[in-house]
Chains A and B, each alone.
Chain A
Amino acid sequence: MNYKTSLNLRWLLLMAWRDSRRNRSRLLLFISSIVLGIAALVAIYSLGDNVRMDIDRQAAGLIGADLEISTNKPVEPQMKGLLDSLGDKRSEELYFASMVYFPKSQGTRLVQVRALKGEFPYYGSLETTPAAAGKSFRTRQAALVDKTLMLQYKAQVGDSVKVGNISFVIAGTLLKAPGQTGLSTSVAPAVYIPLAYLEQTGLSQKGSRINYKFYYKYNRPVDIQQLVKTLEPRLDKEGFNYNTVENQKENTGRSFTDLTNFLSLVGFIALLLGCIGVASSIHIYIKEKVGSIAILRCLGVKAMQAFLIFLIQIVGIGCIGSIIGAALGTLVQQFLPLVLKDFIAVEITTAVSWSAIAAGIVLGIFISLLFALLPLVSLRKISPLNTLRVSLNETDISRDKAKWIIYGLILLFIVFFTYLQLGEWLPTFFFTGGILIAFFILTGMAMLLMWLVRKFFPSSWSYLWRQGLSNLYRPNNQTIILIVSIGLGTFFICTLFSVQSILLNRITFSASGNQPNMVLFDIQSGQKDQVANLAKQYRLPILQQVPVVNMRLEQINGRTAATISNTDSNSRRGVFTREYRVTYRDALTASEKITEGKWHGKTEGATGTAYISIEQGWARRQKIQIGDTMVFNVQGAMVPTIVGSFREVDWNRIQTNFLVVFPTGILEEAPQFHVLLTRVASDEASARFQQAMVQQLPNVSIIDLGLVLKTLDDILEKIGFVIRFMAAFSIITGLVVLIASVLISKYQRIQESVLLRTLGASRRQILVITALEYFFLGALASLTGILLSLAGSWALAKYTFKTVFVVQPLPLVVVFVLICLLTVAIGLMNSRGVLKRSPLEVLRGEG
């Protein structure tokens, strides 16, 4: 007899089709768990495709010119010639942080003043209301004011805004400028003025921290990349930076890719949750199918054939689920620009991306198959003897090697998919490790809770409560999967909320007691006393007054940017290109501690050797040792130094902290500005003082705690909205898994409730039992998520933010109650059939 017969694919397909006929709605329900995960990924992939095309299309509009050259020091005559020789059209912009004053509302605010000359932007436009204001403000004493400022100070077009010594008519509200995002306007809202009036503002004095930008447009075709290659050595030498459309495209593309990678990982978590839901549902489905499979085995079906019949069903239904997910994702994508508009500088289009749809469908089929394999492999072990003895239904599959191989495949898949998103191994392992730990902890907690419920079962409770509670651990329960999925969603949302409040609390806390809560900077040397007097006049204490000198690093141990550029890392090269703001003083502050070397407060010896002190973390990252020599360039003057000590700095305080501190006796005559720290008692006192300062010394900029808190809150709110949006996919997936699990176990529940009703239970009693079961489920799931979130937030507060973690109970209670209500509502809604079914119908076996 030949036993090697074919698998008979045609018959397998036919059987898969036949068997699915009476189960299709259930199979679709299983697969609905992955729909949202696929939808999230397709939406983000589609967005990615569209934005990449948008960046290509709008790249020129991102910088508004063909070439942009920038520097933070006044242009020397020898460079002026070069700058004036470039481009067919030129524009110039000077920008800096400064206070502005709105006379109508008497409000003051630190903004970014942008003084513009020329027709910039050459590509795109300064979008304003009224539209003509973007051009008309340049020819008169008028300003464009960012829309957030206009709203904040209730200003209207035609009102005035005072910048430095002079007032400007507000010509229009600035809606969008090239390269600007909603996030950047939160941090530094812009006020545009014509460059011709900058002098009159009095803000462009020597020592002011002004940045210079030069924009160029070419009317003829010019290879800009080639041009900047030839200019690069000279620009580098003179401390100029450049940006081209190509560079901007790369930078914008890179930051956008980082954003979508992050979001797709959040979507992937929702998909993983869904897949666990699928595996769990199919596990129950297969358990119900043991009888049918045993019959088939009796009739001569091979193990592989039985396995393939159900595998084909899963592939088919996975395909349908993925298509639905892809369609939903394409729909969701239409709303993503609203969610992400603050993070992306381009106008986002929402065209259908077929490649994203195809990727989503392939991923959906593959991942549903992978996770369905876990319960499906047990099919191979189902014996035909099950037709004779029902007791043999429970086949021991825990020792099945194939299961462990599948677990391995799942892990490999998660690592591979994450690597595709992140492109680096270390973050990939961190992410995968984090996911595994979160799942293990949630599963562990779910098992522990179930064990505790059994161990300390409240026998004295009424029957209804006991029955509802015991449903959590009865056979075919879905307690673990629901606690994992709903718990993870709750964990996301609560942790997000906690981090937000930790950050805000930390700033509030750091400025409590006698700590400074207002920083005044850009104070010129000649204004030091005047500022101090004004502070005294308003009875404000001068808590700290420090000089700040801008400089660049030229050499470390004789090596320069040129000598290490080809051999060292980007970060190492970065030490030479960045601007250093350093101070000089003869003593340490309260927030500093010497960890290595010796503190030198004064320049020593006849030769005036300067022993500087460096922040220890930065020194470690840059591999700087005690005794190393460093040469700084202070406005053209070379200042040799020796690293004398390393300092530990408490960056958490609102005060001036520095990477590099010079001793006294060397920088006193260098161009510098001063920073003054004070403490104001109230918002009103702060407003009065700021008004007086802006009126008397308009170049002095002020940051107060209120502004910091508001800005941070704005940013966190914008980031939080995106994360909440994505976390919603996990929460809703958890609820879909809940719906699926309720409906899967419906027949079992019908039988039980009918039995109870036959024994005399009323419909109300059944309803209470069901409601209690879902209440316990929702309560345990949300409680697990909240507990984990509290632990995580505490760890974040203690170890990352180094602050005290204060539990805010109200939002947690709200989340808990909402999730419990939602779970009970969904549970009851889907159990309606159980309550309505007549006992006789079920006893006849027609259920």
Chain B
Amino acid sequence: MDTILNIQNVSKTYQSAGRTLTVLDNINFSVEAGSTMSIVGPSGSGKTTLLGLCAGLDRSSAGMVELHNIKLDGLNEDERAQVRNQYVGFIFQSFQLMPTLTALENVMVPLELRGERKIKHIALDLLDKVGLADRGHHYPSQLSGGEQQRVSLARAFSNKPRILFADEPTGSLDAETSEKVIELMFGLNKEAGTTLILVTHDADLASKTQRIIRIKGGKVISDERTTREN
């Protein structure tokens, strides 16, 4: 299988009050295309920082991040933005929908950014898949938390990403809604053959992925394969 994400000797440090704070320390792993993986760890362990580096939202202080054979460290912010638009999808704990756009428009944004035309039917299809075909003209504030996360899922898959990053995707949802969103997320992922990388506290959710990396204090403390198939 091809490698979609390659992390080599990655560290992240911050300067705070004259001190150097190491958030991630010499992280190494690679992810195969089409696989699912979760990053777990206690609060403050550096998992969200790691997700940000993997997705090209931030730059590492040392080491190399390679996504779809593109070395992200040498790119500026605008170049990384274009990589994200072409290859990456996101799902966030707090949904992160544009409050001034309708559900349909939120789903269309990544495609519009690419300059693609006649995309409305693609967005409507995706909304249909997440069960919100009739809510396309509603604004995020008019949707429940679960509905917002489903719109977020539709948006994440709209640009047919090679890799999907999900940061605590069920963190703001109740158990029942979480279950539905997880089901949808894995379903869509399987259908599209996308690589899925999850950051979560939820052991049950993590166990649904093929691989679990545990980090603590900015270091990988375990990297285990589950028995789960894609």
User: Which residues does A use to contact B, with CB under 8 Å?
Assistant: 1, 3, 5-6, 8, 11, 14, 18-23, 291-292, 294-304, 383-385, 387-389, 845-846
Q: Is the CB–CB distance between A297 and B81 below 8 Å?
A: yes
Are B82 and A3 interface neighbours, CB within 8 A?
A: yes
Q: Which residues of A contact B98 (CB under 8 A)?
A: 19, 292, 295-296
State whether B78 touches A303 (Cβ < 8 A). yes
B48 touches A300 (CB 8 A): no
Segment at the interface with A among B108-116, B186-194, B211-219 = B108-116
Residue in B58, B115, B155 whose CB lies within 8 Å of A8: B115
Of the candidates A11, A303, A384, the one having the most CB atoms from chain B within 10 angstroms of its own CB is A384
Chain A residues with Cβ under 8 A from B85's Cβ? 299-301
Q: Is B57 an interface residue when CB atoms closer than 8 A count as contact?
A: yes
Are the C-beta atoms of A299 and B84 separated by less than 8 Å? yes
CA distance A304 to B98 in the complex (A): 18
Contact for A295 among B79, B96, B167, CB less than 8 A:
B96
Contacting A3 at CB < 8 Å: which of B51, B78, B100, B109?
B78
Q: Does B3 contact A (CB under 8 A)?
A: no
Query: Given A18-B101, A302-B81, 8 other A-B contacts at CB below 8 A?
Result: A11-B113, A19-B100, A20-B100, A292-B100, A301-B81, A301-B113, A384-B57, A388-B57
Instruction: Return 30 A-B CB contacts under 8 Å, by A number.
Output: A1-B70, A1-B86, A5-B115, A6-B115, A8-B112, A8-B113, A14-B112, A19-B100, A19-B101, A23-B100, A292-B98, A294-B96, A295-B96, A297-B77, A297-B81, A298-B57, A298-B96, A299-B84, A299-B109, A300-B81, A300-B85, A301-B81, A302-B81, A302-B82, A303-B81, A304-B78, A384-B81, A384-B84, A388-B52, A845-B141
- Tell me whether B82 and A298 are in contact (CB under 8 A): no
CB contacts (< 8 Å) of B157 on chain A: these are: none
Interface centre among A5, A18, A300 (most CB of B within 10 A): A300
CB distance B83 to A302 under 8 Å?
no
Q: Min CB distance, A21 to chain B, in Å?
A: 6
Identity of the chain B residue whose Cβ is nearest the Cβ of A845 in the assembled complex: B141
Q: A388's contact among B78, B92, B155, by CB below 8 Å, is which? A: B92
Could you tell me the distance between the alpha carbons of A846 and B75 in the complex, rounded to whole angstroms?
40
> Which one of A20, A299, A845, A846 contacts B110 once the chains associate, using CB atoms below 8 Å?
A299
- B84-112 to A contact mask, C-beta < 8 Å, 1/0: 11100010100011111100010001101
Contacts A14-B112, A846-B141 given: A1-B83 contact, CB under 8 Å? yes
Determine whether the beta carbon of B100 is less than 8 Å from that of A18. Answer: yes
Say yes or no: B57 contacts A1, CB within 8 Å: no
Count of chain A to chain B residue pairs whose CB atoms are closer than 8 Å in the complex: 92
Chain A residues positioned under 8 Å from B84 (CB to CB): 298-300, 384
Residues of chain B contacted by A3 (CB below 8 angstroms)? 75, 78-79, 82
The 5 A-B residue pairs whose C-beta atoms are closest, nearest first, are A300-B85, A302-B78, A3-B79, A19-B100, A384-B57
Known: A291-B96, A292-B98. A385 touches B83 (CB 8 A): no
Q: How far is B77's CA from A383's CA once the two chains are assembled, in angstroms?
A: 9
Whether B113 contacts A383 by the Cβ 8 Å rule is no
Contact yes or no, B52 A385, CB < 8 A: yes
Q: Which residues of A contact B57 (CB under 8 A)?
A: 298, 383-385, 387-388
Q: Residues of B contacting A295 with CB < 8 Å?
A: 96-98
Instruction: Given A385-B58, A846-B141, decide whether A300 and B96 contact each other with a Cβ distance below 8 A.
Output: no
Residue of B with least CB distance to A20: B100
Within 8 A of A (CB), among B170-214: none
Given the known interface contacts A301-B113, A383-B58, the answer about A22 and B82 at a Cβ–Cβ threshold of 8 Å is no
Q: Which residue of A lies closest to B79 (CB)?
A: A3
Residues A388 and B167 in contact, CB atoms below 8 Å apart? yes
Measured CA separation A11–B101 after assembly (Å): 14
Query: In the complex, A385→B97 CA distance in Å?
Result: 15
Contacts of B113 in A (CB 8 A): 8, 11, 299-301
Given contacts A11-B113, A21-B100, A299-B109, contact A388 B86 (CB under 8 A): no
Query: A299 vs B85: C-alpha distance in the bound complex, in angstroms?
Result: 5
Q: How far is the CB of B161 from chain A (nearest CB, A)?
A: 11
Task: Tell me which residues across on chain B come within 8 A of A846, comparing CB atoms.
Answer: 141
Most chain B C-beta atoms within 10 Å of own C-beta, residue among A296, A297, A299, A383: A299
**Shortest CB distance B189–A (Å):** 18
Within 8 A of A (CB), among B144-167: 155, 167
Q: Contact mask B47-79 → A, CB, 8 Å, 1/0?
A: 010011000011000000000001000010111
Given contacts A299-B85, A300-B85, A388-B51, contact A22 B78 (CB under 8 A): no
**Is the beta-carbon distance between B112 and A300 smaller than 8 angstroms?**
no
User: When A3-B82, A18-B100, A302-B82 are in contact, do A389 and B90 touch as well, CB less than 8 Å?
Assistant: no
Complex-state Cα separation, A282 to B152, whole angstroms: 28
Closest to B158 in A: A299
Query: Which residues does chain B contribute within 8 Å of A387, judged by CB atoms?
Result: 57, 90, 92, 96
**Is there an interface contact between A22 and B139, defined as CB atoms closer than 8 Å?**
yes
B22 to chain A: closest CB distance in Å? 17
Please give me the residue from chain B that is nearest to A18 by CB atom. B101
* Residues in B neighbouring A385, C-beta threshold 8 A: 52, 57-58
- Please name all residues of chain A whose beta carbon is closer than 8 Å to the beta carbon of B105 when the two chains form the complex: 18
How far is it, in angstroms, between the C-alpha of A300 and the C-alpha of B83 when the chains are bound?
7
Chain A's nearest CB lies how many Å from the CB of B104? 11
Given A1-B83, A3-B82, A11 and B100 contact (CB-CB distance below 8 Å): no
Collect the chain B residues with CB atoms within 8 Å of residue A388's CB. Answer: 48, 51-52, 57, 92, 167
Least CB distance from B81 to A in Å reads 5
Closest A residue by C-beta to B112:
A11
Residues of A within 8 A of B79 (CB): 3
Min CB distance B69 to A, Å, is 10
Contact flag A1-B167 (CB < 8 Å), given A22-B100, A22-B139: no
B151 to chain A, nearest CB (A): 12
Chain B residues closer than 8 Å to A8, beta-carbon distance: 112-113, 115
* A218 and B81 alpha carbons, distance in the complex (Å): 81
Residues of chain A lying within 8 A (CB to CB) of residue B167 = 388
Chain B residues whose CB sits within 8 angstroms of the CB of A298 once the complex forms = 57, 84, 90, 96
From known contacts A6-B115, A18-B100, A19-B100, infer whether A300 and B110 are also in contact, taking CB-CB under 8 Å. Answer: yes
Q: Is the CB of A1 within 8 A of B82?
A: yes
Per the bound structure, the CA–CA distance linking A294 and B96 in Å amounts to 9
Chain B residues whose CB sits within 8 angstroms of the CB of A301 once the complex forms: 81, 85, 113
B37 to A: closest C-beta gap in Å? 18
Q: In whole Å, how far is B59's beta carbon from the nearest beta carbon of chain A? A: 10
Complex Cα spacing A295 to B167, Å: 14
* B97: nearest chain-A partner, CB-CB: A295
Nearest CB in chain A: distance from B7 CB, A = 17
Interfacial chain A residues near B77, Cβ < 8 Å: 297, 303, 383
Chain B residues positioned under 8 Å from A11 (CB to CB): 112-113, 115
Q: Which residues on B sit within 8 Å (CB–CB) of A304? A: 78
Which of chain B's residues has its CB closest to A302's CB? B78
Query: Are A22 and B99 neighbours in the complex by a CB distance under 8 Å?
Result: yes
Judging by beta carbons under 8 Å apart, are B101 and A300 in contact? no
Q: How far is the CA of A119 from the CA of B228 in the complex (A)?
A: 114
